A and B are shown apart, each in its own frame.
Chain A
Amino acid sequence: MKIYVNDQEVDLIKGMSVRQALTQAGLFEKIEKGARVYDAWGNETGLDGALEEGARLTVKAE
């Protein structure tokens, strides 16, 4: 499935979570430094949260 992290397209196996999307986007290190992940509606999302085709995530520094 295709999702977007900070507008960057990321291809994931169906069933993969926010954590794996960030790893693929090369942004997981930012999380370890305190950045947070938000969904398309501006809600913070947990790293093990389920994703759907077309999901849009934004990683923002705290």
Chain B
Amino acid sequence: MTTKGFRALIALCVFSVTCILLPLAEAGEAVQLRILYVNDFHGFAEPYRPSGSKAFMGGIAYLADELERQRQGRPTLFLAAGDMIQGNPWANLFEGRSSMEVMNSMNVSAMVLGNHEFDFGPKVLGARIQEARFPILAANVREIPKISPYIFKEIAGLKIAIIGLITEETPTSTHPKNVQGLIFSPAVDTCQKALKEIGAQADLVIVLSHLGLPADIRLAQAVDGVPLIVGGHSHTRIESPMKIKDTLIVQAWEHAKVLGLLDLTFQDRKIIRYEGRLIPIAPDKQQPDPRVKEIVARYSQEAAAVLDEVIGQALLDLSAQGARTQETNLGNLVADVLRKETQSDVALTNGGGLRTDILKGPVRMKDLFAVLPFTNYPVVLKVTGRELKAIFEYGLSDAGGGRFPQVSGVRIIFDPAAPAGQKITSFFVGEKPLSPETWYSLATNDFLAAGGDGYALLKQIALLKEGDPPKENRVLLFDTGRELRDLMVSYVKEKKQISASVEGRIQRKE
């Protein structure tokens, strides 16, 4: 090698080392960064056909295949914007363990807690957090071990701060016991505090949000210094990034039906170019990633076994036959479980919601899915005795319809021949006659509380507020974390032997 050649080699080496050591952003070079993202997976591991769709969509193994393809040869982050571990039976039957195993195999850069991550209770959430091989964030919740408000990631010479924010509505959207002792703070204030702490340490700040699009927009309008919000919670299909002031907002619909992709070009601490889109995920668009496919199949097999597993014994036939016209022993059992689990004075469920019998003998989990096939959640309302009577007057006004009440905690005698609104001749709550002015807690399901089967009064009550000024909510509990079916499964597992009888809770006047 000549002296000139040697000098050129040294100069090249010095240049290369400088390039490696000096962050590209500081050197004024443009840096390319790819953000890949999902939200609201809800354990929809297998492809499925959404309501009204002719095509199968989603499938986490197919999404993993696309993810790997989009990661090739460039610096990327893969972000999960919450509600990942709960929802579909594929996840729920394992309290989210299956979802966590899949995510661990997909090299997640960070995840924010969603409100439904709390639905299995604090102990299970703690176990899932322990299992996660990636950081889980939530800046505006305190007292959850191993959760960080924000993290730093160094990639492509950039120092990136990722702040996690969860909806402030979480405490009212899950059972209170799931969030006991936790302190939730307003998202905007928390974000501003985090930004102050982060200061100049980061080249780029990303908010990983489970707030919902309207709240993301408010955040972007209220807070400076957040160039990107990767969102979830509202299940919004944002096909190309929204821009609010200087903030880009993205969100990738739901259930792994799309993979979000955002390419950023970054220079001098600013995004100078961006291009984003959602990539459809479906069995006819990708090949399944073999590792994720194996995990999905293993848990699907296990789920089939769990559904087939005997969880208790019915000591006699529990009948739903006639639940649209009269008291039934299965209706009594379901209403008893609803009342007990919600610690309410009275429980009411609609006879039309009970779809089949449980026969004497072994009870499998799948039997309970057959009896209660609908996704219904418990709702507890605060009602007066007068309102309670009016509700049951309506329920008993049309024997034969799905509205016929299956009840717990009351004994009612009614005259089918009497005019509508005057059918009830005797009404006891527990051992005491109904008192029109007394407050009672009434457990029902979200379908009826929304006015389903014509229960308009339940809906009206659910929207009322008490007090002066009126601010006390009449909804004592709306637990979107546990379905009515889940309550039944827990009950059968606990009791092992189940039975119920028709005992005159609703009687016709002779």
Q: Residues on A close to B: CB < 8 A?
A: 11-16, 18, 20, 23-24, 31-36, 39, 41, 43-52, 55, 62
Name the segment of B65-73, B97-105, B212-220, B496-504 touching the other chain: B212-220
- Chain B residue contacts of A15, Cβ below 8 A: 169, 172-173, 478, 480
New contact pairs (17) apart from A13-B478, A46-B237, A48-B42, CB-CB < 8 Å:
A13-B379, A13-B446, A13-B450, A15-B480, A18-B235, A23-B447, A24-B450, A32-B51, A34-B54, A36-B52, A39-B236, A43-B236, A44-B236, A45-B236, A46-B235, A48-B87, A49-B254
23 contacts between A and B (CB under 8 A): A11-B463, A13-B379, A13-B462, A13-B478, A14-B475, A15-B478, A23-B452, A24-B450, A34-B53, A39-B234, A39-B236, A41-B242, A43-B238, A45-B236, A46-B236, A46-B253, A49-B212, A49-B234, A49-B236, A50-B169, A50-B212, A51-B234, A55-B214
- Chain A residue contacts of B40, Cβ below 8 A: 46, 48-49
- Chain B residue contacts of A12, Cβ below 8 A: 450
- With A and B bound together, what is the CA distance between A62 and B55 in angstroms? 14
- Chain B residue contacts of A44, Cβ below 8 A: 236-237, 253
- With A and B bound together, what is the CA distance between A34 and B507 in angstroms? 44
Knowing A12-B450, A43-B213, A44-B237, the reply to whether A34 touches B478 (Cβ < 8 A) is: no
**Structural contact, B478 and A45, CB atoms closer than 8 A:** no
**Structural contact, A31 and B52, CB atoms closer than 8 A:** yes
CB distance from A15 to the nearest CB of B (A): 5
- Chain B residue contacts of A14, Cβ below 8 A: 169, 172, 473, 475, 478
**Structural contact, A34 and B52, CB atoms closer than 8 A:** yes
- Chain B residue contacts of A49, Cβ below 8 A: 40, 212, 233-236, 254
- Chain B residue contacts of A41, Cβ below 8 A: 213, 242
Closest to A20 in B: B450
- Chain B residue contacts of A18, Cβ below 8 A: 235
Knowing A13-B463, A52-B212, the reply to whether A46 touches B254 (Cβ < 8 A) is: yes
- Chain A residue contacts of B233, Cβ below 8 A: 49-50
- With A and B bound together, what is the CA distance between A51 and B40 in angstroms? 14
- With A and B bound together, what is the CA distance between A23 and B452 in angstroms? 8
> Residues 458-502 of chain B: 1 if any A CB is under 8 Å from the residue's CB, otherwise 0?
010011000000000101001010000000000000000000000
**Structural contact, A50 and B234, CB atoms closer than 8 A:** yes
Interface centre among A14, A23, A32 (most CB of B within 10 A): A14
Instruction: Name the contact of A43 in the complex, choosing from B215, B239, B379, B449 (C-beta under 8 A).
Output: B239
**Structural contact, B463 and A48, CB atoms closer than 8 A:** no
Interface centre among B54, B172, B213, B473 (most CB of A within 10 A): B213
Asked if B255 lies at the interface with its beta carbon under 8 angstroms from chain A, I say yes
- With A and B bound together, what is the CA distance between A16 and B451 in angstroms? 13
- With A and B bound together, what is the CA distance between A43 and B251 in angstroms? 10
Instruction: Name the contact of A39 in the complex, choosing from B51, B213, B459 (C-beta under 8 A).
Output: B213
Asked if B167 lies at the interface with its beta carbon under 8 angstroms from chain A, I say yes
Closest to B52 in A: A34
- With A and B bound together, what is the CA distance between A54 and B335 in angstroms? 34
CB distance from A49 to the nearest CB of B (A): 3
> Residues 234-278 of chain B: 1 if any A CB is under 8 Å from the residue's CB, otherwise 0?
111111001000000001011100000000000000000000000
- With A and B bound together, what is the CA distance between A18 and B167 in angstroms? 17
Tell me the residues in window 192-206 of chain B with beta carbons closer than 8 Å to chain A beta carbons.
none
Interface centre among A24, A31, A49 (most CB of B within 10 A): A49
- With A and B bound together, what is the CA distance between A15 and B485 in angstroms? 20
- Chain B residue contacts of A48, Cβ below 8 A: 40, 42, 87, 235, 254
Instruction: Name the contact of A23 in the complex, choosing from B42, B234, B450, B462 (C-beta under 8 A).
Output: B450
Tell me the residues in window 55-95 of chain B with beta carbons closer than 8 Å to chain A beta carbons.
87
CB distance from A18 to the nearest CB of B (A): 7
- With A and B bound together, what is the CA distance between A39 and B52 in angstroms? 18
Closest to B473 in A: A14
- Chain A residue contacts of B51, Cβ below 8 A: 31-32, 47
**Structural contact, B237 and A43, CB atoms closer than 8 A:** yes
**Structural contact, B450 and A16, CB atoms closer than 8 A:** yes
Closest 7 CB pairs of A and B: A46-B235, A49-B235, A46-B254, A44-B237, A34-B52, A49-B234, A15-B173
- Chain A residue contacts of B480, Cβ below 8 A: 15
- With A and B bound together, what is the CA distance between A7 and B215 in angstroms? 22
- Chain B residue contacts of A31, Cβ below 8 A: 51-52
